[in-house]
Amino acid sequence: MPFDPTSLTYDSRGLIPCIAQEATTGEVLMLAWMNRESVARTLETGLVTYWSRSRGEFWVKGATSGHRQHLVALRIDCDRDCLLALVRQEGPACHTGRRSCFFTELRDGVEIDLPEIQPRHPADILGRGAVITIT
Amino acid sequence: MPFDPTSLTYDSRGLIPCIAQEATTGEVLMLAWMNRESVARTLETGLVTYWSRSRGEFWVKGATSGHRQHLVALRIDCDRDCLLALVRQEGPACHTGRRSCFFTELRDGVEIDLPEIQPRHPADILGRGAVITIT
């Protein structure tokens, strides 16, 4: 059926959470909020556009930093009250300069600052000329 | 520093959103809500425990269905107002029987029911005996 942004379930503030996930690596980058109009703008422009709760205005991700999120696909959950945006992220998603906002992990009751692990090329792991035989 | 669930930022209902992601594949499974006590119970038991907004009670995921979420890691975002639970999911995460709740995708303004794509073994794609040389 044709999609209508009003068919989603928004909370009492007119907002719906949207998870941004890097399409190529599967890394979860951030969660932010959208209203009906930012859902429509995201689909129209291909640039992920949130609603900033703190500033009370539309927030085209990366409009000032350049760290834009190019929409690859937009998915809706079974309750229609959460969105998943698969994106191609330019630069870091987090305002701290980290690739993902989720860089703090709990280990044995202690908060750990996760190292920034870059996706690696197989040659960096196995060496150039390495041969893999599929069994 | 030692982790204290009260150090997270909860909304006016005392809740924080938690994204569940399959640890092995990176698939985003669902989003649900936790309060302070469900964060503490999740860490204590290793079983992801949400707060059911509709039932107004703790919701040990899979307690009735058997589709439990075993906690692999719990991460906190930079604003401390969202959680990411890396999990080992038993069975489907979604109450519809789908592996993920995000099985509806927008394509050209139309909602598409995504096929359930199983993770594939390289041999299913390349054939047994296939050789890959890393360059």
Residue to mutate among A27, A106, A121, with most B CBs inside 10 A, is A106
Rg (CA), chain B: 18
| Closest-CA residue to B10 (of B86, B116, B96, B82) | B82
Estimate to the nearest angstrom the gap between the alpha carbon of A98 and the chain centroid: 13
pLDDT at A16: 98
pLDDT at B116: 82
Is A128 part of the contact surface with chain B (CB cutoff 8 Å)? yes
> Reduced to 3 states, what is the DSSP secondary structure of residue A109?
coil
Element (H, E) at B41: helix B36-45
pLDDT at B135: 73
Q: What is the largest CA-CA distance in chain B?
A: 58
Q: Which of A2, A73, A126 sits opposite B109 (nearest CB)?
A: A2
Instruction: Provide the mean pLDDT of chain B.
Output: 93
Quickly list DSSP for B95-108: TTS-SSS--EEEET
Chain B positions in Cβ-Cβ contact with residue A78 (cut-off 8 Å): 94-96, 98, 101, 103-104
Asked whether the beta carbons of residue B129 and residue A114 sit closer than 8 angstroms, the reply is no
Q: What is the mean pLDDT of residues B83-109?
A: 96
- Residue B18, pLDDT > 80, answer yes
Compare all CA atoms of chain A with the CA of B102 and give the residue at the minimum distance.
A77
pLDDT at A120: 63
Q: Could you tell me whether strands B49-52 and B57-60 are parallel, antiparallel, or unpaired per DSSP bridges?
A: antiparallel
What share of chain B in percent tops pLDDT 90?
81
Asked whether the beta carbons of residue A130 and residue B130 sit closer than 8 angstroms, the reply is no
Give the C-alpha distances (Å, rounded to integers) separating B129 from A128, B121, B123, B125: 20, 13, 8, 11
Chain A positions in Cβ-Cβ contact with residue B110 (cut-off 8 Å): 1-3
pLDDT at A100: 97
Q: Could you tell me whether strands A83-89 and A16-22 are parallel, antiparallel, or unpaired per DSSP bridges?
A: parallel
Q: How confident is the model over B47-87, as pLDDT tens digits?
A: 999 999 999 999 999 999 999 999 999 999 999 999 999 99
Rg (CA), chain A: 18
Residues 40-69 of B with CB under 8 A from A: 43
What is the distance between the alpha carbons of residues B90 and B66, in angstroms, rounded to a whole number? Answer: 7
What is the distance between the alpha carbons of residues B19 and B71, in angstroms, rounded to a whole number? Answer: 12
CA dihedral for A22, A26, A32, A37, sign (positive or negative): positive
pLDDT at B132: 80
What is the distance between the alpha carbons of residues B33 and B53, in angstroms, rounded to a whole number? Answer: 8
Chain A positions in Cβ-Cβ contact with residue B106 (cut-off 8 Å): 3, 43, 73-76
pLDDT at A119: 60
Predicted TM-score of the model (pTM): 0.89
Element (H, E) at A40: helix A36-45
Grouped pLDDT means (10 residues each) for chain A, 135 residues: 91 97 96 98 97 96 96 98 98 96 94 81 75 79
DSSP A26: -
Question: In a 10 Å sphere around its CB, with 0-12 CB exposed, 13-18 middle and 19+ buried, how is residue B134 labelled?
Answer: middle
Lookup: tokens for B34: 């936790």
What is the distance between the alpha carbons of residues B54 and B111, in angstroms, rounded to a whole number? Answer: 26
Compare all CA atoms of chain B with the CA of A114 and give the residue at the minimum distance.
B75
